[in-house]
Structure formats: structure tokens, C-alpha cells
Amino acid sequence: MYEINETHDPNLKSWVESANDPSTDFPIQNLPFCVYEFGDTEPVLGIGFIIGDKILDIYGCINDELMQNEAIAQFASFRFWTLNAIAGFAPGVLSDLRRQAVYLLSEKNKDRVAIAEHLYSISDVRFEAAFKTGDYTDFYCSIYHATNVGSMFRPDNPLMPNYKYIPIGYHGRASSIVVSGTDIKRPHGQNRSDAEKPPVFIPCKNLDYEMELGFFVGKGNEMGQPILMSEAENHIFGVCLVNDFLAKNFATTISPYVVTMEALAPFRTKAFERDTDDPQPLGYLNDEGNKNFGGLDINLEVYIQSEKMRNENIEPHLLSRSNTKDLYWTIGQMLTHHASGGCNLQTGDLMATGTVSGKEKHERGCLLELTWRGTEPLELPSGEQRRFLEDGDEIIMKGFCEREGFRRIGLGECRGRILPAD
């Protein structure tokens, strides 16, 4: 696990002024990675660090010897990148890159002209998915979400008997991962509202979002070689926001910014504290480091803006606020369990936590829970009601970390708007 070091110093400021705005998600202490496309006639792809409202082009800095990194330099001749090219390097290599970027962008550095040539404005680029993802696994790690959903469908037995022993997951579709801002077309599915008749194939009626945290595999493991709990975090590159649109396989939206595990070091917290009558995790999922620091204190917010709200210039409306520290399983436990049978994880694989809900009603991370399967509709500031998503609705997810004595950092936004079915 990463230590807190001089790159987390809350007093650090950048000569990129927008990074010093107290409300920015991207101060110099954060520096998330991104993959972006720049230019219209002959667009080029780049990998960068986000700083304020700018992107520092890593390829350009290495090529001009503003940054030195042997491991990464050998990839620098390839302009068409994803983060897969570098994410498999040891944590030390990536830490070194972060230190150099902090040095270049710090206000103490007066040698700025050459660096400024490698800065792009966020508004001038198009973001791509940061990784080429081969496999996507979605877990179900919020005990509050699992209990709520379970009690709607199985009132007598809401939580499955294995829930407290195993981080449950399903294998999602990597092919339908899209980057924030991509429109989502309402899917079709079978619907049987009349038990006397066969089902009909119609546009989905109960379309929902799921507020989740995603994390990317950095270094993979050999097939047949499990990952020890104590090693788990060495295989996790960083996190993003995930909106897993139901029903499960047609669209998963991710934010384009990958906040590294090192940037998150000040926001680690203990793993979920289990009730005294709950079982402790089995040995392979139990480790002192994980127990004390395996959790993540990341606030997650979901907003909705309907078409009517957009037309009437009404700001997006907050639907819920939850926190990843309420997850029953840590991301390290998810990863270790995933590989425990010898499954070989690969650089760029995406894992998501499942809907992050808390104990309270305003902490429920999907409409299924918030409206209790549509029985308790929500009021929007436009006077509209919502049971599930309507055409034209835009869901906006945000994430941020705050802790006394440290600079606030954010995960940016993850947006998706619903288009009518064909």
C-alpha cells in the first residue's frame, strides 16, 4: 500500500492556476491519468495527467526529456496508446512518474515555458476510455444494497447465505463499456405483465442506473497463481466512477479519469467493521493491512437532470450521496477472491464494486432502492415524478475525497443520457 509522502502535501500549489481553485477535483495532489484525442484533421491520442482544467501530455514530456523514466520511455515512440502500455509497471515506476509531474507543475518550478507546450485544455480534447479492457467483473459488495434489493424479491431471506463469506460478482461485458458522455439508448427486453399470455418484446420499462466505484487491474497474475491478500493492492492501478445501467449487459459508463491508488493514500480507512455475530473473512481474505487500511473513504453523489429541467434551466437534482467506506468487502478482497481459483487477471481489466448504498434512505445508489421498486416515486424540482429513468434523463455521478489536513481531490464526473428506444 502507498505511503503518504511529499506529493500529498496540502500546501503544494501549481503554476497552473485552475489547479489551486478550492473546488477543483484536480489539484496537484491528485493528477489522475487520462487518455485523450486531440485535433480534428489528423487526431492524435495521448496519455496525460489532469491538472486543474488542463492535461499534461506525458509522451511529450518524456520525448522532450522533461521527464525521465526508462521503463516508460521505451513505449514513448507509440503515439496510439491506452494506459495498458504502462499500468503493468511496478508501483515504484508509477510513483516516480507522479513525483516528476508534481515537480514540473509545482509553483516552485520557474522553468515553465517548455512544459507549457505540453499542456492541453480539457475543453479542446475528447476523452477516450483510459484502458483497453479485456474483462469486466461487477461485484455486489454493499450489504445495504444487497439487503434492500433482496428484501424486495425475497422478503423472508433478503441476504443470500454466502454473502458474508464471498465477495459475489458476475462477469460483465467489456465490449459495452463506454466513456462518460456517451448517450444510452433504451434497450428492449421480454416483459410479461399478463401471466395468462406469453411475454412480449418491448422497450425496457424499469431502466435504472447503478452508482458504483470501478478499479483497474495494473499488474496481472499468471494463470494458476492466486494473489495474496497482502499483495492485492500492488495489482490495482486506480479507480474511476462507474454507472452500470441495468439490465446488466448493454451499457456501462465509466469516467475517463483514473485516480491512482497513490493519490488516494490519505483517504484510506479501515475495512467494514463486522457485527460481533458476523463471521470473520476466511484466511485468504484476511490480512492486517487490509483490515486497518483496506477501505476507501470516497463520497459518491448521483444527480439527475430531466429534459424538462434542461429546458427550464433547472440545475441537476441530487438523488443520493453514499460512501465506499460502507462496502462490506474491500477492493483488495474483491481482487484476491477473483484470482483465488487461479483466474489470471490482466492489465486493464475493470472491476466494479456493485451499487454503493449506505444505511440511510438518502444513501441508496439506484432508483430501484430509492423508489422501492417504483412504489415510492421521487419528486423532481420540475414537478415531475420518477419511478425509473425516462427518455431524456441525464444521470451525472460525482466522487470526491475529503479529510482534515489534506487537499480535497475528486474523481470528476460520469454522465449518461437516455435516448428513446428504436
Report the C-alpha gap between 397 and 304 in whole angstroms.
9
CB of 336 vs Mn ion, minimal distance in Å: 20
CB of 111 vs Mn ion, minimal distance in Å: 47
| Using rule CB under 5 A, residue 208 touches Mn ion | no
3-state helix, strand, coil in the chain (%, to 5): 25, 25, 50
| Backbone phi and psi for residue 213, each to the nearest 5 degrees, phi listed first | -105, 135
Size of the site for Mn ion (CB under 5 A): 3
Q: Which of 145, 235, 317, 337 is catalytic?
A: 145
255 in Cβ contact with 126 (< 8 Å): no
Report the C-alpha gap between 80 and 94 in whole angstroms.
20
CB of 127 vs Mn ion, minimal distance in Å: 22
| Using rule CB under 5 A, residue 349 touches Mn ion | no
Report the C-alpha gap between 264 and 259 in whole angstroms.
7
| Using rule CB under 5 A, residue 210 touches Mn ion | yes
366 in Cβ contact with 209 (< 8 Å): yes
| Cα 279 to the center of its chain, rounded Å | 29
Stretch that binds Mn ion, among 48-56, 116-124, 213-221, 238-246 (CB under 5 A): 238-246
Nearer to Mn ion, 50 or 241 (CB): 241
| Using rule CB under 5 A, residue 244 touches Mn ion | yes
35 in Cβ contact with 130 (< 8 Å): yes
Nearer to Mn ion, 244 or 394 (CB): 244
Stretch that binds Mn ion, among 41-49, 121-129, 135-143, 412-420 (CB under 5 A): 135-143
Is residue 145 among the annotated active site residues? yes
Stretch that binds Mn ion, among 11-19, 39-47, 206-214, 328-336 (CB under 5 A): 206-214
Instruction: Encode 302-320: b = buried (16+ Cβ within 10 Å), e = exposed.
Output: bbbbbbbbeeeeeebbebb
Among the listed residues 25, 57, 96, 138, the single contact to Mn ion using CB under 5 A: 138
Q: How far is CA 326 from CA 1, 36, 200, 385, 397, in A?
A: 20, 33, 39, 29, 18
| Using rule CB under 5 A, residue 369 touches Mn ion | no
Nearer to Mn ion, 14 or 243 (CB): 243
CB of 278 vs Mn ion, minimal distance in Å: 24
What kind and span of H or E run contains 334?
helix 331-339
What kind and span of H or E run contains 45?
strand 44-51
364 in Cβ contact with 148 (< 8 Å): yes
CB of 139 vs Mn ion, minimal distance in Å: 8
Nearer to Mn ion, 302 or 409 (CB): 302
CB of 365 vs Mn ion, minimal distance in Å: 10
Closest residue to Mn ion using C-beta atoms: 244
Nearer to Mn ion, 210 or 287 (CB): 210
Q: Which residues bind Mn ion (CB under 5 A)?
A: 138, 210, 244
Give catalytic residue positions. Answer: 145
